[in-house]
Amino acid sequence: MTSADILQVRDLRLGYGRKMVLHGVSFEVPVRGLVAIVGPNGAGKSSTLGAVAGGNSLASGSITFEGENISGASPEVISAKGIAFVPEGRHVFASLTVEENLRSGTFRRKDRGAVEGDLERVLQYFPRLRERLRQPGGKMSGGEQQMLVIGRALMCRPRLMLIDEPSLGLAPKVVEEVYETFLRLRAEEGLSILVNEQSSRRVMRYADEIMVLRDGIVQIRGTPSTLTASALHDAYFGAGTFESGKAE
């Protein structure tokens, strides 16, 4: 692991019961980088994020965060080290207000005096949340709920954020707004981001690196400037031959 990487995953193997879903997955996330995992349903994308977040037990492999091996650590320990996980499905607390949802992201923090400043910072990134501070989270639109769960994760002051399917069910304009915010967070806060998406076309515009996962195996990886649309298509749908993560 180099000083330029905040996360390094090596030979990750994971299964549920007797069924293996990840077969030797390896990748890195650079400091301030935005890395996207794409692939069809059942590829192992969510399992990969869950393993990094501590929610899935590894069969083998290693996960290193800021030079420390965190393989097998609990979600609570991993969160305390500076990794925030935004799971698929926009899990807001429906009966709590927007402000209460945001503040719920700080319950493990000990620096209570800094919370107010962080709340203001999150509201600057998501102005629509400021307009709805007293509104129940369950009454918001899908796009607003996605902003809310990302904002709640930011209240934990993470250095790495794992985001599972942030664009699921959202209008294209809202998706663009969410990803533009990711770029701002990377530039202004130094945040590193690992995101799981189904659409390779979308992340070609925003990611520093793209990794195609299919059947629990990395089929191809590279930067948007080096990956062709046809190579991504073939890796995604299973056509062509790939070796060591590069297209032939």
Task: State pLDDT tens for residues 46-81.
Answer: 999 999 999 877 779 999 999 999 998 999 999 999
Averaged pLDDT score across all residues of the chain: 90
Report pLDDT for 3.
66
pTM of the model: 0.90
Which of 7, 86, 6, 97 has its CA nearest to residue 46?
A: 86
Structure tokens at 115: 């919370």
pLDDT (average), residues 8-29: 93
Report pLDDT for 66.
97
Q: Is 179 exposed, middle or buried (0-12, 13-18, 19+ CB in 10 A)?
A: buried
Strand 192-197, strand 19-30: pairing: unpaired
- When divided into structural domains, the chain yields a total of 1
Least confident interval from 111-115, 170-174, 221-225: 111-115
The rounded distance, in Å, linking the Cα atoms of 34 and 113 is 30
Helices 115-125 and 172-189 cross at an angle (nearest 10°) of: 140
Residue ranges making up the domain that contains 128: 5-247
pLDDT tens digits, one per residue of 171-203 = 888 889 999 999 999 999 999 999 999 877 778
Q: What is the DSSP string of 165-197?
A: -TTTT--HHHHHHHHHHHHHHHHHH--EEEEEE
**Residue showing tokens 């402000």:** 99
Report pLDDT for 108.
73
Report pLDDT for 202.
76
Instruction: Name the pLDDT band for 170 (thresholds 50, 70, 90).
Output: confident
Structure tokens at 13: 């193997």
- Is the pLDDT at 245 greater than 50, yes or no? no
The rounded distance, in Å, linking the Cα atoms of 176 and 72 is 35
Instruction: Name the pLDDT band for 248 (thresholds 50, 70, 90).
Output: very low
Report pLDDT for 24.
96
Which CATH number fits the domain that encloses residue 54?
3.40.50.300
Q: What is the DSSP string of 60-86?
A: EEEEEETTEE-TT--HHHHHHHTEEEE
Report pLDDT for 2.
62
* DSSP single-letter state for residue 241: -
Sign of the CA dihedral 165, 170, 171, 173?
A: negative
